Each structure stands twice: as structure tokens, then as C-alpha cells.
Amino acid sequence: MQSSRLKRYRHLVGRFDGLLTRTPVITYGLAIPFAVMGTVDARAAFALSVGMMAISLLSTAVGWVLKRMGQGREVYMLVTAVLSSLTLAGLSRLPLGGFQMPVGMLGIYFPLLAVNTLTFFLVTRCDEQKSLPANLAQAARSVLSFAFFVMAVSLFRELLGKGSIFGVKVLSSLQISTVLMPFFGFILVGMLSAFCRQVNRSIRAWCLIKDREEAMDAKTEEVKA
Amino acid sequence: MAGFVKLLMIAFTAAMVENAIFSRALVTRKMLFLKNREEILTFSAVITLMTVISGVICYAADSLLLYPRGVSIYIRSALYVLIMAAVHTAMIVAASRKVGEWYARAKNVLLMAGYNVAVLGTILLCSFNRYNLWERLFYFVGTGVGVTLALVLLDVANQNIAMSRVPRIFRGLPILLLYIGILSLAFYGLIGHPITF
Amino acid sequence: MNLIHSRPPHVRSHESNFSVMGDMVISLVPLYLMAYFFYGSRTLVLGAVSVITYTVLDFLCTFLSSRRVGILDLSPVVTGLLIPLMLPASIGFTPVIAADLFAIGVIKQPFGGLGQNIFNPAAGGVAFAVLTWSDSVFRYPVPIESLGNAAARLVSSPAASLRLGATPNYPFTDIFLGIYPGPMGGTGVLILLACFGYLVIRKTISWRPTAAFLGTAALAAFCFPRITTGRFQSVLYELTSGLLLFGAIFLINDPATSPKSQTTRTIYAAIAGVVAMIFRYLGAYEEGLVFAILLMNAFSLFIDMRYEKIRHRERRALYAEQQTETV
């Protein structure tokens, strides 16, 4: 029988499925190139997040339609890749002042979003039995989780590696170039993944311990009575 | 002779110095957890074939159409994805007709190897650097060799990790990412400078 | 029946982790004495700081992961002593502490701690220090001249000269006695060979892997000399500059990260010699040994398993032959 505190915790995080639990980068290991190489600058991470959101929502919508038409995986992956690349080409031409520069900073990693595994995963997981808004909400949650992750990692790496935040110099003395190297990205993502797992396990262990204590207290009260 | 040595250095750079997986992180989840030798060989063969065939067609498109018109890299990328999709579809159709039994087993791997960041990334890098046809061919083959080597190393990594008593929170993805990070650190000893992308 | 479950190798000798690591500590002491003689007391302080940091971090991580903390476990002491010996005597305390942190936090503990690590923590920590502080790691104080002031005059080592194709300008006696700039523990050929002899006599390590490593490195230096003054001079300078000799003795023979049997360890060491020279010749840094060691560590199990397969096939063939003979 599941204890109530644990149940409440599971129910709470379950409501944020994709955002807090079963997150794309940490749990499933999706979009690794972008989490490792695209997080050397916060502006680049922002551009990645915007691009990922645009193509994921569009691809989920089109994938949902194709699945309802009974099309197979080959078809919707092909359509996803082509549509995503066209969307990214359009996004790169956005006249928004601060957007073109981080897109240029990302080099090949912005156009590479067209074949990223997160979008393919969202389209594959898209359930044609559910409504379109429900599927879009699930996709949005996953991409928001990706966005939080890359923004947090990029702020950390930019601060330590360049001493700036969003290109604005804040620490002139601190510039550890190792932080901007690919190997540090891999190690950071791996460590964060382990850290999040530890946090989850600790909270669940705490809930279990507290529930057992309450159950023991309740039994003692019963016996006394 | 000097030209051939230069081409060999390009291939060596693509395979070892700027390895697609360890130096550029062009890796997907599927590539991290390939199950057996057949999957590794299929994956690397498909990636190499896709890169070479799509890459040659993309070069033709670049030199005849795109470079003369000064088209931006993002629109060129859209065209490359279309070419990749066409080549991949042709590959799937040919495989399902000629080697149906193998295709049924390898379908999953084929799909993920076709629409792969390593393939598109390699084509985009050559396009960025404006390599000519021979340079691109050597770069593509070098990348194929590098990806094969990396996938073998990842298989060895999974075996190594299986023999260690890894703490529970690190099991699975985190420890493999740490392992790749350490190997990436070792490969950085060859490069020594940040690579442009 | 009391069945003990343990990972191979299944050792049935008087050896224990304490005795093996104890011998390693004893063999590292003369290197610190040599460094003290050349560069002053700063070398001892660096060693002490590294050992204390590494040991405390190791015990803390072991305690936090609910494993038993072994008081007699000297392996953190050995790694703590190894790291500063691969760096110049003028290095600051930050690189040493950072190398220790990286070695414990990334290389050793996430893989399971003592004996479970796949990569050599000392090599990993120094590799991290090389990448982060590449200016200070390859600038060395002049021996004896820098007594009392380790950062007085920093020069480049013979390895840097070799990289530029120039013959180092040190007489053979100086090289033998270690009176030339280089890593704290990497210079004195005589003392290093004495430490090696001690470990071989105590049967802590075998001479074969070290000989194989140096053999293939010497062959590479002989066949592809970087200097124009002769192949034998190339072999001499390549083997005595940088960390090649030090690595051949202390890093190649690490029991946790190298293959398990004598033959496979020798094969591994021979390949490592070639890879180390490739990193030296083609790599970005004058000394690429630590990167080569990390790369080879990934293949230890692979070499063991391949060799076992070949042996298994040979044994089966022999068994089949014997069966046909009896029939």
C-alpha cells in the first residue's frame, strides 16, 4: 500500500510530467549536442530554446495530423525534418534585433535543430487518440524543461568561462576557458543528471520515512487507546 | 603528392582530431546504447553512406546553385535536409525491396541513422568551410571512420561500466556522459584549441 | 561453506592493498626528496596539500555513498603524491587542488571508488590541470638555482625543445642526475630507475610493461626522430624528457586501470608507448602522456577480453586435438 505523502509527491510531480519528471535531457538523453555545445553562451541557449519550441510545436501538430491519417514513422519523420529545417530557415531571418547574433554564434548547431532527437521523440510519442491541445501541451512542457536546462547551464558556463551574463561583462577576473570546452559540457550534463536523480530519491526517501513514522505513531496511539 | 597528404590530413582531422562524437558532441541517445556488433556496423555504415551520397549531391547543389547566388547557410541547410530525406527514402525503399528480412530487423536503427545530427553536421561543416569535392569526400570518409571508432569506443564503454559497481544515481546515462567527457578530454590533447562551429 | 564473492583478480598471496600501496608510497618518497633538493621545501608543501585534499575528499565521498571507509587504504595517499610530481615545482596550489577535485569527483568516485575506476585518477587530474592552466604547467623552474624561490626564473623543458625540432642542450650526466628543468618527479633518471628497481624487487610491479612501453616509445623515437643530431640522441632525449619515464613506472602499472594478466598488461603498455609518442608528435601539448594514458585505460578491458577469447579458442583447439589423439 503506497503511503500518502509519497502518493502526494508523485501526484504533484506527475502533473508536471515532462517539466519536472521524465525530462528530455536528463532522463532520456535527448538533444545532447545542443545541451553540450550550445550552452557556452546564454544568448545562444535562448536562440536554441526559441528554435526548439517553434519546430517542436509545429512538428507535433503536423505529426498528430499524419498519425490520424494512419501514416507510418518513416513519413512523419521525413515531414518533421523538412518542416523543421524550413522553419529554422525562416526563424534565422527574423528581423528581431538580438536574435540574429546568437543564431550566428551557434554555427552549425542552429540548423542542426532540424534533425534533433527531442522533436522526433515528441512526434513519436504524440498520441493521436488524445486531442491536439493536450499533445501540444505535453510537447510544450518538454521543450520548456529543455529551455530551463540549457539556460541554467549556459548562464553557469558563460559566467565562469567568459565572466559575462548575456554578453554583459560582470566578472573581469574570472575566465576559466576549460568550462567552455566540449568535455566540460558532457561532464556537467552527466553530473546534473545524477544530481537531479539524487534530489528525487532523497525526497522520496524522506516522504517514506515520514509516512512510516506517522504510521508507527498512529499504531502506538491505537495500542495506548 | 602534397595535395594527397593534405587530403589525408583532412581525413585524419575529421576522424580523430575533430571527432564527430567526442569533439563536436554530434551524438544521439540511440548511438549511446547500441546493443550488439550488428547494430554498430549498420549504424556506422548507414551514417557513412548517407553522408557520402547526400554530401556529394549537396556539393553539386552548392557549387551550381547556392554559392553563386550567395544563399545563406540556413536556407542551404533546408535544401540539404530535403536532399538527405530523398536519399534516405531511396535507401529505405531499396533495402525493403532487396533485403527485406534484414530491413525488418534494422528498421529502427536505419531511421535514426538516417536523420542524424552527425550526417547533417558533417555536410554543414564542409559547406561552412567551402571545401571542394575531393576535400569533402575525404572529410566524409574520415567522419565515417571517426563515427565507427567512436561507436566501438562507446560499446567498450558500456562493457567497462557494466563491470564496475557504479553508484545508483550514476547508472545509465549519467556515467556514460561522464565517460564520454573523459574521452573527450583525452581527444582534446590532440586538438588543443577550441574548434570553430 | 563460506563463499566469498569478489571481483577478479582472485589474489592468493601475502599481498594486500595496504602492502602494494605502501610500497608505492615508499617508492615516491625519494622523488620528493630529489624535488626538495632541487627546488626547496615548496615541493613538500605541495605534496602534503595534495595528499590531504585528496584523502579527505576520497573519505568524504566514500562516506556519503554509504560505503565503508578503509582507514588502511593508502590509494588516496598514492594518487595524492603522484599528482604534484607530474607538475612543475612552481605550480600554484589552485591547480593541484583542482586536479585533486577532478580526479576524485569525476574520475574515481562516480565509477564506484576504490578499484572500480576505469580511468587513472592521477592522469585525469593532471590532464584537467594541463587544459586549464596550460601556461603554468609547462613552465619549469631551474633546479638548484630556484632554491627558496620556486618562481624565480621559469624556462621550458627539453620536451618543448624537441617539439620545435631543436636538440636540448643538457649533458648526459645532468640528465642522469635530474639537473634539468622538468616536472618535479619526471627528471632524475637515476632515482626513477632506483624506484623502479625497488618496486620490481618487492614484486609490486612487473618489469615487462615498463620495458614494453619504453621499448615501443624508443622505437618510435628511433624511426621518426624530431631532431637532426642522430637517432640515438633522439631516443635518449625523448625517453628522458617530460613524463615518459615517470608514466612508464607509475601510471602504466596502476592495478585498477590496466589489464589484469601479465601478457595483456605488456601488450597494453606496448600500444600505450606508441599512442604516447603520437600524442607527443601530433598533439597540441609538448607532453601528451596523460591524455594517451586516459585513452588507453578505455581499452584495458577490451584487450583482456580479446586475449581471453584467443586463449579460449587455442585451448579448445588443443582439447579437440587431444580428443582425436586418444580416439
Each residue of C293-304: pLDDT tens digit?
999 999 998 898
CA angle (A144 as vertex; A129, A136 as ends), nearest 5: 20
- Nine-digit cell at C204? 609490486
Mean pLDDT for B26-47 is: 87
- Cα distances from C325 to residues A142, B171, B173, C314, C322, in angstroms, run 68, 50, 52, 16, 5
Using CB atoms, which residue from C127, C282, C298 is nearest to B157?
Answer: C298
Tell me how close the Cα of B1 comes to any Cα of chain A, in angstroms: 32
A contacts of B147 (beta carbons < 8 Å)? none
C-alpha span between B195 and B188 (Å, rounded): 10
pLDDT confidence tier of residue A105, bands split at 50, 70 and 90: confident
C-alpha span between A93 and A54 (Å, rounded): 14
Tell me how close the Cα of B172 comes to any Cα of chain A, in angstroms: 10
Looking at residue C282, what is its pLDDT? Answer: 85
pLDDT of C40 strictly over 60: yes
**Residue B182 and residue B23 in contact, taking contact as beta carbons nearer than 8 Å:** no
pLDDT of A2 strictly over 70: no
Task: For helices C42-64 and C93-102, give the axis angle rounded to 10 degrees.
Answer: 30
Tell me how close the Cα of C326 comes to any Cα of chain A, in angstroms: 58
- Nine-digit cell at C173? 650526466
A contacts of B23 (beta carbons < 8 Å)? 182
pLDDT confidence tier of residue C168, bands split at 50, 70 and 90: confident
CB contact under 8 A, A114 and B78: yes
C-alpha span between B131 and B189 (Å, rounded): 26
Within 8 A by CB and 6+ apart from A196, the residues are: A23, A26
Helix (H, G, I), strand (E, B) or coil at A107: helix
What length is written for chain C? Answer: 327
**Residue C172 and residue C160 in contact, taking contact as beta carbons nearer than 8 Å:** no
Distance between first and last Cα of chain A:
24
Q: Which subunits sit against A, judged by 3+ Cβ pairs under 8 A? A: B, C
Mean pLDDT for A104-110 is: 86
**A194 touching C (Cβ < 8 Å):** yes
- Nine-digit cell at A210? 515520514
C contacts of A178 (beta carbons < 8 Å)? 128, 131-132
pLDDT of A178 strictly over 60: yes
Beta bridge partners of C154: C141
Looking at residue A177, what is its pLDDT? Answer: 86
The burial of A75, by beta-carbon neighbours within 10 Å (0-12 exposed, 13-18 middle, 19 or more buried), is given as middle
**A172 touching C (Cβ < 8 Å):** no
What's the whole-number average pLDDT of chain B?
Answer: 88
- How many CA atoms does the CB half-sphere of A53 hold within 13 Å? 15
**Residue A133 and residue A74 in contact, taking contact as beta carbons nearer than 8 Å:** no
Q: Which helix (H) or strand (E) holds A164?
A: strand A164-165
pLDDT confidence tier of residue C15, bands split at 50, 70 and 90: low
**Residue B169 and residue C262 in contact, taking contact as beta carbons nearer than 8 Å:** no
From the list A111, A106, A132, A137, the residue with the least C-alpha distance to A37 is A106
> What chain A residue is nearest to C132 in terms of C-alpha separation?
A178
C-alpha span between C70 and A8 (Å, rounded): 40
pLDDT tens-digit readout, A149-168: 999 999 999 999 988 888 88
CB contact under 8 A, B85 and A186: no
- The residue type of C199 is L
pLDDT confidence tier of residue A73, bands split at 50, 70 and 90: confident
CB contact under 8 A, B74 and A30: no
Q: How many CB pairs under 8 A join B and C?
A: 87
Looking at residue A215, what is its pLDDT? Answer: 87
- How many CA atoms does the CB half-sphere of B8 hold within 13 Å? 5
Cβ–Cβ contacts within 10 Å for residue C201, how many?
A: 9
**C237 touching A (Cβ < 8 Å):** no
Look up cell 592493498; give the residue.
C17
Q: Which helix (H) or strand (E) holds A165?
A: strand A164-165
C-alpha span between C216 and C226 (Å, rounded): 16
More confidently predicted of A194 and C260: A194
CB contact under 8 A, B188 and C290: no
CB contact under 8 A, C106 and A178: no
CB contact under 8 A, A178 and C131: yes
Q: Which one of A178, A181, A195 would you mutate to disrupt binding with C, by most C Cβ within 10 Å of its Cβ? A: A178
Using CB atoms, which residue from C106, C110, C132 is nearest to A176?
Answer: C132
Question: Could you tell me the pTM of the whole model?
Answer: 0.91
- How many CA atoms does the CB half-sphere of C273 hold within 13 Å? 26
CA angle (C117 as vertex; C213, C310 as ends), nearest 5: 55
- Cα distances from A26 to residues A23, A180, B47, C12, C315, in angstroms, run 6, 20, 26, 44, 46
Mean pLDDT for C124-151 is: 84
Within 8 A by CB and 6+ apart from C4, the residues are: none
Within 8 A by CB and 6+ apart from A52, the residues are: A31, A34, A113, A116, A118, A119, A143, A146, A147
Q: Which subunits sit against B, judged by 3+ Cβ pairs under 8 A? A: A, C
**pLDDT above 70 as % of chain A:** 97
From the list C102, C119, C125, C77, the residue with the least C-alpha distance to C254 is C119
pLDDT confidence tier of residue C71, bands split at 50, 70 and 90: low
Within 8 A by CB and 6+ apart from C324, the residues are: none
CB contact under 8 A, B189 and C305: no
**pLDDT above 90 as % of chain C:** 43
pLDDT of C289 strictly over 90: yes
CB contact under 8 A, C131 and A181: yes
Beta bridge partners of A164: A169
**Lowest pLDDT segment from B95-109, B153-167, B173-187:** B95-109
CB contact under 8 A, A183 and B177: no
Strands A168-169 and C140-141: unpaired
Helix (H, G, I), strand (E, B) or coil at C237: helix
Using CB atoms, which residue from A177, A181, A187 is nearest to C106?
Answer: A187
- The residue type of A146 is F
Mean pLDDT for B153-175 is: 90
C-alpha span between C286 and C243 (Å, rounded): 10
**Residue A141 and residue A59 in contact, taking contact as beta carbons nearer than 8 Å:** no
**C310 touching B (Cβ < 8 Å):** no
What's the whole-number average pLDDT of chain C?
Answer: 87
3-state percent breakdown (helix, strand, coil) of chain A, nearest 5: 75, 5, 20
CB contact under 8 A, A89 and B196: no
Cβ–Cβ contacts within 10 Å for residue A177, how many?
A: 14
pLDDT of B9 strictly over 80: yes
CB contact under 8 A, C282 and B157: no
Q: How many CB pairs under 8 A join A and C?
A: 10
Looking only at Cα atoms, what is the longest distance across chain C? 81
**A176 touching C (Cβ < 8 Å):** yes
pLDDT tens-digit readout, A24-65: 888 888 999 999 999 999 999 999 999 999 999 999 999 999
Mean pLDDT for B117-143 is: 92
What's the whole-number average pLDDT of chain A?
Answer: 87
- The residue type of B92 is I
pLDDT of A134 strictly over 80: yes
- Cα distances from A106 to residues A16, A97, A112, C290, in angstroms, run 30, 16, 10, 31
CB contact under 8 A, B78 and A181: no
- The residue type of A61 is A
- Nine-digit cell at C135? 601556461
B contacts of A185 (beta carbons < 8 Å)? 25, 181
- Cα distances from C156 to residues A114, C85, C146, in angstroms, run 48, 17, 14
CB contact under 8 A, A88 and B92: no
